Structures are given as C-alpha cells and as structure tokens.
Amino acid sequence: MSAPPRPVRLLFVCLGNICRSPTAEGVMRSIVAEHGLQDTIELDSAGTGSWHVGSAPDRRARAAAAGRGIELAGTARQVEHADFERFDLILAMDSSNLSDLRALAPAGQRGKVRLLREFDPAAGGELDVPDPYYGAAGGFEEVFDLVQAACAGLLAEIRAGRLP
Ligand code: 4NP
C-alpha cells in the first residue's frame, strides 16, 4: 500500500497580515471545505511587516467577508525563514510583497513565491490585489472579489495536478 500523499501547503502573504492575506486564507478555507479537501490542502497566512503581529484581522475585512458568509480567524504573524521550507506555494498579494518575499527566500525556494492573481484566469495584465488599508470601504469588497476569483483558479490548478 502506498503512503497517502502529503498535504499541499499554501501560505498567503500581504504586508500587514490583517486585510488581504487573512481574507485569502478565509476564502480558500471555505472553497477547500466545499470540496471536502481539508485533509489535502493546508493553509496559513502571514505578513512581510511586523506592525500588526498578534492582531486579529481588520474589522473592515471581517465585515466584507461576513457579508459573504465567511468568518476570518487567526492572528497576524510575520513571515519567517522556515516558511520557505514548510510551504509548497507562497502566494503574494501584490508585486511589492512578491519582491520582498523573493529577496527573503533562499535561492532554491524563490520559485515557490508567486502572485495570487496569476491563478485568476480572468485577470488581465493587472495582477495586484490592491492594498485596502488606507482606502475607502469599497476597497475591501474589491479585495474579496479579486481573492475569490484567484482562489477558485488556484484550487482548479491543484485539483488538475498542475500545482505545486
Ligand atoms: P494588508 O493591509 O497588507 O492587506 O494586511 C495593510 C495593513 C496594514 C498596513 C498596510 C496594509 N499598515 O501600513 O499598517
């Protein structure tokens, strides 16, 4: 009998780990649960910055997610070196997060760092999830929509065996 395949481990990363990446983690958790894949896909999120370490997700992000029936959980943490070994795929919310992560990553692990929106088949040339922190409330709804489309595409790629 062959050993069960080990879970695919995904880490979502933004700047503060209180708005975009907890939203992505919560959305992906919900999609994974819908497909009964909780034992196959493990999820976490982190920030490149340390300002909000220990904080709950931003109340505006929680409100936008709650409006779509998704509860955001967890407390913010900063990306650490071990993450590059531990996770199979590290999904950056924007190009600034991507370059910060690639600079932190050991040379052999840089290929694991990708932009989340690369997995949205409908994303045109714009692949950033815009930072909503200092913007209008509608920014959080937009984040949710962009993240949801990308997470659906990401799951489709994993199920098709094309990732990680
Ligand atoms: P996030 O949003 O990276 O999506 O969690 C931000 C949260 C906090 C700050 C910036 C962006 N900040 O400057 O404190």
**Is 131 noted as a catalytic residue in this protein?**
yes
Name the strand (E) or helix (H) holding 42: strand 41-47
Instruction: Give residue for tokens 């959080």.
Output: 140
Q: Which ranges in 35-137 belong to alpha helices (H)?
A: 59-66, 82-86, 95-104
In this prediction, residue 94 carries a pLDDT of 98
In this prediction, residue 65 carries a pLDDT of 98
User: Which class would CATH give 11-159?
Assistant: alpha beta
**Is 114 noted as a catalytic residue in this protein?**
no
Residue type, 112: K
In this prediction, residue 3 carries a pLDDT of 59
Contact 121, 153 (CB under 8 A): yes
Query: Which residue's CA is the nearest one to ligand 1's atom 7?
Result: 16
Positive or negative, the Cα torsion across 119, 125, 128, 129?
A: negative
What distance in Å separates the CA atoms of residue 1 and residue 61, rounded to the nearest whole number?
Answer: 45
Q: Where are the domains of the chain?
A: 11-159
Say yes or no: CB of residue 22 within 6 Å of ligand 1.
Answer: no
pLDDT average per 10 residues of sequence, the chain (164 residues)? 78 98 98 97 98 98 98 98 98 98 97 98 96 95 98 97 89
In this prediction, residue 154 carries a pLDDT of 98
Say yes or no: CB of residue 50 within 6 Å of ligand 1.
Answer: no
